[in-house]
Amino acid sequence: MPETASGRGFVGYLGYAAVAVMVAAAIAAICLLAPTEETMGDAQRIVYIHVAVAWMGLACFIFMAVAGGIYLARRDLAWDHWSRAALEIGWLCCSLTLITGSLWAHAAWNTWWTWDPRLTTAFVLWAMYSAALVLRSGVDDPHRQARMGAIVAIVGALDVPLVVMATRWFRGVHPQSPHMEPAMRVVLGISVVCFTVFFTTLLLLRRSQLRIADMLEDMECGGLPPLSETAGDFPRVLEG
Amino acid sequence: MVKKLYWMISKDLLSECRSLRVWPAMLLLGVVVALMFAMQADLPPERLRQIVGGLLWLTIFFAGTLALDRSFAAEREDGCWEGLLSYPVSPTCVYLAKLAVNVVALAALECVLIPLFAILTDVPLLAHPGPIVAVAVLGNLGIAAAGTLLAAVVNTGRQSSYLLSLLVLPAVVPLVLGAAEATRLAVEHDFGPSWWRWVQLLAAFAIIFITAGIVLFEYAVEE
């Protein structure tokens, strides 16, 4: 059995299987365990996924800015791998937040979109993630790419509180603390934990992938990395 | 520092006055967008008062992006960028000089667009010039601060001309929203706590992004 990027053989696959089981359990809890809401019906179940991906999107954004700041201080590309992985996973989560939010808004408010503070903040976050992705794709030098990514991430992190304030003063219809039955809160908790584990696993995998891609590029350029650095990361298949 | 700053600002302003590379295009774009907005906004006066602030600030942003995008283009195209960086001034000084030039460019744009919007829409934008000027100055500083920093970031990439708006617009959402609301309240002669709150937001935005520019600019222009 080949070694995986972030774990060794059987243990690695066992970890992935556990994550898959957690996601399946979360979906089962959402569909079967959560009580049906009286006014919205089954459409309310979207909220369990929406909250989980929205939280992950914001967490990735903050993590990206922190990793970017550490990169600027230390100039270690390892931190840029974290920052870039967080950017990509954050973009995915933010896109899912907008889609699930829009579906929920249509069911709850009979409109696909409203300029509510949190929706607007999610949209601004998504636009910044997208611009950062496009910006990075236009630069070949990894250090220059890392610097640009870090600056955009920090600017975005500084901007988010102002966006929240401005849009909250402007108008707001988003439920501040929606009423939920205890069973609903339990399912929401399960969903948030399971999807956080799932997206964190994706983040770790993507970070490993970026690190290996960088190592391969170094090898192609003639600068072979020390064996101790590569031993834990390369699949045995490559060694053959 | 002040003398170096003065010389760098004079250099950029003199170069623009001689070559007229950016400002005429920026002003023309502003006028055309203002005309198109005014043409489409055929609404009752009360409704028009509510939206004219938003239209004005969107026009300032889109036309101003031309000036922001060209902040570093002249040096890049004429091969003077390395010379500018090797000049014995700190990156902070370069940032502040570019910021000042962009503030002047946006001020020129506002001097044209605010009276033009007042004429085209018949909304009394200049009935209380003081508050409108305060909003314009703070909005100007905020857009220029964020725009100059991000222009330096995208200037090293391959796609600077179209990417800057994509990066700056989400970043200045709170500023455009704040400036539009403060303008609307000023037009409605409402200078209560709500107006002050928006003005404070504009000031906070300008302070945060000027500070961020001073700290981060040296990383943005690093070769």
Number of domains present in the structure of chain B: 1
Residues of chain B with Cβ-Cβ distance to A65 below 8 Å are none
Question: CA separation (Å) from A170 to A75, A120, B134, B179?
Answer: 40, 11, 20, 12
**Residue A72 touches chain B, beta carbons under 8 Å:** yes
Residues of chain B with pLDDT under 50: none
Q: Kindly determine whether residue A159 and residue B174, on different chains, have CB atoms separated by under 8 Å.
A: yes
**Residue B192 touches chain A, beta carbons under 8 Å:** no
How does A200-220 read in b/e, with b if 16+ C-beta sit within 10 Å?
ebbbbbbbbebbbebbeeeee
Residue A41: beta bridge partners? A37
For residue B219, give the amino acid letter: Y
Phi, psi angles (nearest 5°) of residue A40 = -90, -20
**Residue A148 touches chain B, beta carbons under 8 Å:** yes
For residue A212, give the amino acid letter: I
Closest residue in A to B205 (Cα) is A162
Of A43, A41, A35, A54, which Cα lies nearest the Cα of A180? A35
Which of B50, B148, B165, B173 is the best mutation test for A, with the most CBs of A within 10 A? B173
Which of B158, B167, B197 is the best mutation test for A, with the most CBs of A within 10 A? B167
Say how far apart CA B66 and CA B165 lie, in whole Å: 9
Say how far apart CA A90 and CA A103 lie, in whole Å: 20
Query: How many beta-carbon contacts under 8 Å exist across A and B?
Result: 92
Do residues A84 and A149 lie in contact, with contact meaning Cβ atoms separated by under 8 Å?
yes
Per-residue pLDDT, B133:
94
For residue B60, give the amino acid letter: I
Crossing angle, helix A142-170 and helix B160-171, to 10 degrees?
Answer: 40
Say how far apart CA A22 and CA A184 lie, in whole Å: 18
Per-residue pLDDT, A1:
41
Q: What is the pLDDT along chain A (240 residues), one digit of tens a residue?
A: 444 545 567 777 888 888 899 989 999 988 888 888 777 778 888 889 999 998 898 899 899 999 999 999 999 999 999 999 999 999 999 999 999 988 888 888 888 887 776 777 788 888 888 988 988 888 888 888 899 999 999 998 888 888 777 777 766 555 555 567 788 889 899 999 999 999 999 999 999 999 998 888 878 776 555 555 555 554 444 443
Residues of chain A with Cβ-Cβ distance to B208 below 8 Å are 158, 162
Of A132, A191, A193, which Cα lies nearest the Cα of A157? A132
Task: Give per-residue pLDDT as tens, B110-139.
Answer: 999 999 999 998 888 888 889 999 999 999
The dihedral over CA atoms of B69, B74, B77, B82, expressed in degrees to the nearest 10, equals -110
Say how far apart CA A35 and CA A44 lie, in whole Å: 10
Say how far apart CA A67 and CA A64 lie, in whole Å: 5
Residue A69 to chain B, least CA–CA distance (Å): 10
Structure-token match 């706590």, residue found: B193
Structure-token match 């939920």, residue found: A180
**Residue A115 touches chain B, beta carbons under 8 Å:** no
pTM for the model: 0.83
Q: Secondary structure of chain A in the HEC alphabet?
A: CCCCCCCCHHHHHHHHHHHHHHHHHHHHHHHHHCCCECCCEHHHHHHHHHHHHHHHHHHHHHHHHHHHHHHHHHCCHHHHHHHHHHHHHHHHHHHHHHHHHHHHHHHHHCCCCCCCHHHHHHHHHHHHHHHHHHHHHCCCCHHHHHHHHHHHHHHHHHHHHHHHHHHHHHCCCCCCCCCCCHHHHHHHHHHHHHHHHHHHHHHHHHHHHHHHHHHHHHHHCCCCCCHHHHCCCCCHHHHC
Closest residue in B to A157 (Cα) is B171
Residues of chain B with Cβ-Cβ distance to A72 below 8 Å are 216, 219
Say how far apart CA A211 and CA B160 lie, in whole Å: 28
Per-residue pLDDT, A147:
92
Structure-token match 């600002």, residue found: B9
Say how far apart CA A205 and CA B30 lie, in whole Å: 47
**Residue B208 touches chain A, beta carbons under 8 Å:** yes
Element (H, E) at B199: helix B193-220
Q: Is the dihedral of CA A43, A47, A48, A49 positive or negative?
A: positive
Say how far apart CA B193 and CA B169 lie, in whole Å: 27
Of B205, B206, B174, B199, which Cα lies nearest the Cα of B185? B199
Structure-token match 């960028």, residue found: B81
- Choose among B146, B153, B173: nearest Cβ to A148: B153
Residue B161 to chain A, least CA–CA distance (Å): 12
